[in-house]
Amino acid sequence: MSDSGLTAEWTARISDYPYAHIGVEQMAGAIGAVISGVDIASPATDDVIGEIRQALDDHLVVFFHDQDITPAQQLAFAQRFGKVIDYPLVQGLETCPEVVPVVKLADERVNFGGLWHADTTYLDEPPMGAMLLAKELPPFGGDTIFANQQLAYKTLSHGMQNVLDNLTVIQSSKKAAVTRTREDRLKTSAIGDRAEDGMVAEHPAVIRHPRTGRKALFVNSGHTVRFKEMTEEESQPILDYLYHHQVRPEFTCRFTWRVGAMAFWDNFSSQHNPVNDYHNFKRVMHRVTIGSGRPER
């Protein structure tokens, strides 16, 4: 089947789930949906939480609008989906340490995490997902783009899939490109010496989703250094191809933020890239990270 046929097959698979408690409006053919009918400030029923989890499994990133919530309310909502874990480098809010402010000040030119990546894949147990809430925004710009890594894997040739299915990737927190995107925040809000230590982990190049069993490509330009079974020089041509392939426009959606919007993404099956096009303006987001164990083949 052609790549376009596979993309159409993906869209058809996720378009008709019978939601009874929430509204789900698909954003793009490959990834992303807007959820309505949910007030995060109020405790949700188990049925509502179950349908949000279903929407996340199908769409890989879901968005909520008009959520006027406190850090404690954001944390309580996140805890319904799994164990909340620390972000390994940056301090959380003094009043709610599990909630991490993601800030770009008006005089800064580099945005935190400003490149295509999956979050903290250099950890032995990287997060399953994260929730990011818009608190203060520039008058324009600052969109975030998300890419479907299940579809990225599915559209590879069978030969490439067979190779990658048996490979392991080395992931590092000290890869130069992503390190530069953290410099401003770590000057003021780093946790002890962890930012300088560097963290390294090994993970399968292709992982299976813990709930759906679907395979996803688990390499990313922010943290992947090489394949364990190869040298960096041998790895680089394959990785360069994958970095280009996995963020093809037809695998993506682009979200325009407004204050009170929140994104909840599947970190095992998607990547994201915050667009850095709002110099001279401040942007403040609140992030909560959710863990679920090691990714597996």
DSSP letter, residue 109: -
**Spatial distance between the Cα atoms of 17 and 229, rounded to a whole number of angstroms:** 41
Which secondary structure element, helix H or strand E, spans residue 288, and what is its range? strand 283-291
The amino acid that residue 294 corresponds to is R
Residue type, 124: D
- Which residues participate in catalysis according to the annotation? 117, 119, 272, 287
- The CA-atom distances, in angstroms, between 197 and each of 161, 190, 191, 200, 232 are 34, 12, 11, 10, 21
Could you tell me if 152 and 251 are in contact, meaning their C-beta atoms sit under 8 angstroms apart? yes
d(CA 281, CA 107): 8
Dihedral sign for Cα atoms in the order 74, 45, 21, 81: positive
CA–CA gap between residue 294 and residue 119 (Å, rounded): 13
